[in-house]
Structure 1
């Protein structure tokens, strides 16, 4: 084997052979990667872990749906090619391959040459994925949902742009049963980045109405996620449950993770944002501010309903305001909104109640749910399960499970953990076990349809949330349904989209062809001139 060409277009072509994840061990440390090319002699994979030639690895992977257990091989690195500061392409030769492993790899290679059986659809192959599912008073045509992922396509003032409408229309036409539009801000004090959607004034309703209509007319349920950034907002005096306090061991490990992961150009942006969040949060929210923001959530949800959305989702994850109140690491209030878990749950639960009163009982409310912050002293699954039970008692329409926050995302062990296929599935299963009937959506690095079907079969979740997967290829659901899996542009987990967010630029995907990547920025610039 030899390294692929350096061009990005060439790398995308190679990605068509992607089929599975790989788990490896080097110097006693575990890493996760995506298989790119595979033969009896060796393989090529992509990983966010620096390698050098000559390293000896132990690799475990599954490439056939029928495999009960991963095969294990020994390999040696023969070349390593950096793609950008977050990602490497690595070529290895197998130094030890068992007869069973040879048989499985041969079967995999042979399967690539076989055309799909005519007349066999995704509904035949993956019956659970393409079964209709009911959320409250809404029926989804299948169990595939577009999980919220920030795109940065709104106009600078927060108005819905044509580019944003086209992007979500494309996702709806791709076949997902529900489309969750990410991160609509409920008040100007909660704006965290440029080109974020706003829903804090009536003047935004007409644009949101066009967006909802585009999604619904394309065959999907339309859901608007509403949010307040709290301490991460780009304002002079961010709102937060408590004044920020430097916790030196935690903060140093976070900053070291950022430094190790990103180049100077990027890591300084994050470090600045991190320190600004600490330095500007000098006071906790007053009771008047708490009541005002609850009212903002209710009014924002009502605007979403007036615009024609079928439901709203409250963003209670990633590190934003609702999670900040829930987290014992960030909420150090001494009144009825802090301290015990019961008190820390009070604000997000009151927001749910306020929204429900505003929109009415017949308008479903979902919740983007943090199962584990993956940080010392943060919210963990034991408390999260109690919170999930409280949400169910309030009649929440669904719980969309995720893990990790802005502070933990760049820790080396967390980055490695979140590269694992379905890294949040075990957490989703625990949350599902904690509630009696509320539907649970699992998210987090779900790329293969066979794996998604397996999650549903094992009853770990009720629905599958796909964010980057559908951003890379919005037609994923239709291609799977039509038996065209070989034509899917699989997300390669390269984090190019994340770098766009760090740079505060419109988000693009490295898997797209060059014209599509270029056109996004051209379209947004043209709309700005109008």
Structure 2
């Protein structure tokens, strides 16, 4: 058996293999409500043979949306709209399903990518953004309002309510979005967090609010539901958030019962200088895996089966996450299993597609 197709557990969530379909924003919701696009998009990915499917960044309140098209879970109507998608996946696929709960903070109120992705001014249909400090993401963006204690409490309650709806939907896990320059990441980084109260200044203070969110969500759902976090391990900006601070944060999460950590990077500042290449973020995952005992998910231009296998064999991460590669090739796990001489689950309707040269590829035998 290959390492990639060996089982793993993220806390209480047992997975058949170590492939995570990373959350990918689709910007195709209607006032936060799931649409037919989500049925098609998530449905076909659920048949991929991956061990875990993580639903895109899902806003915990309207102001927390990146764009007007973001998926949301801030009301029972939003849960009702998503329920048929989850029901269909459960009927036809054994894949485990998690959701990424998010708040965009100062990076909210933006156009969808295919319309440029720029900040939408309040007078042009945008909305007032919020953040740890009144520091916009980019010059010309709406200046965010600094969150006071009452607003922080409300956002915590919004995360908790969304988490409870996630559990009621029958989802297997929650990934809190602490990466890519969104609200929780904004608290972590000294570049965006210029507060002088108990939530700013020292590293201990800057990690306090994200830890409070994690603790509240963990307490709100049963121990049978996995709860983890995605982080950006580096801002890629001098003087910003970095791997050393990320290790301290990860260790604090572990003490609170975090079931997994998904390690990405960047997104906080337009001044970031990232050198892209295969595995460009894996060293961050390897460092956190080395300094904690949490299952660690690595991501970053992972496109080949042998590449993913080497990451796992060398102990740099416990799982790999794929995003764009899965959109380009929704049967990536099938092809990876064939290349590695392993097996993967496929729906019975597709068993006859098994090529003769890979007659043992599917774990079920074609009739």
TM over 0.5: yes
Deviation per CA, 1:445-475: give whole Å up to 9, x if none: 0001101100011000000111111111110
8 Å contact from structure 2 (residues 178, 184) kept in 1: yes
Bigger Cα Rg? 1
8 Å contact from structure 1 (residues 181, 223) kept in 2: yes
Alignment-derived partner of residue 476 in structure 1: 332
User: Pick from 286, 294, 309: which aligns with 1:429?
Assistant: 286
Deviation per CA, 1:421-466: give whole Å up to 9, x if none: 010011110111120x210000000001101100011000000111
Map 1:218-257 onto structure 2 (within 5 A): 218-234=93-109, 235-244=126-135
Unaligned runs of 5+ in 1: 1-122, 246-272, 486-530
Is 1:309 the counterpart of 2:171 in the alignment?
Answer: yes
- Cα deviation for residue 275 of structure 1 reads 3.0
8 Å contact from structure 1 (residues 327, 378) kept in 2: yes
8 Å contact from structure 2 (residues 133, 195) kept in 1: yes
**Alpha-carbon distance between aligned partners in 2 of 1:153 and 1:308, rounded to the nearest angstrom:** 23
**DSSP 3-state at the match of 2:97:** strand
Is 1:466 the counterpart of 2:322 in the alignment?
Answer: yes
Map 1:471-510 onto structure 2 (within 5 A): 471-483=327-339
**DSSP 3-state at the match of 1:275:** coil
8 Å contact from structure 1 (residues 386, 434) kept in 2: no
Map 1:14-53 onto structure 2 (within 5 A): none
**DSSP 3-state at the match of 1:280:** coil
User: Pick from 211, 222, 226: which aligns with 2:85?
Assistant: 211
- Cα deviation for residue 483 of structure 1 reads 4.1
- Cα deviation for residue 182 of structure 1 reads 1.0
Q: CA RMSD in A?
A: 1.7
User: Pick from 134, 139, 143: which aligns with 1:275?
Assistant: 139
Number of aligned residues: 324
TM-score (norm 2): 0.85
**DSSP 3-state at the match of 1:128:** coil
Unaligned runs of 5+ in 2: 110-125, 342-367
Query: Structure 1's 382 and 483: CA in aligned 2 closer, same or farther, altered over 3 A?
Result: closer
**Alpha-carbon distance between aligned partners in 2 of 1:203 and 1:236, rounded to the nearest angstrom:** 22
**Alpha-carbon distance between aligned partners in 1 of 2:81 and 2:51, rounded to the nearest angstrom:** 22
Q: Please state which structure has a larger fraction of its residues in strand.
A: 1
**DSSP 3-state at the match of 2:215:** helix
- Cα deviation for residue 216 of structure 1 reads 3.4
**DSSP 3-state at the match of 2:98:** strand
8 Å contact from structure 2 (residues 289, 296) kept in 1: yes
8 Å contact from structure 2 (residues 20, 53) kept in 1: yes
- Cα deviation for residue 276 of structure 1 reads 4.3
Alignment-derived partner of residue 219 in structure 2: 357
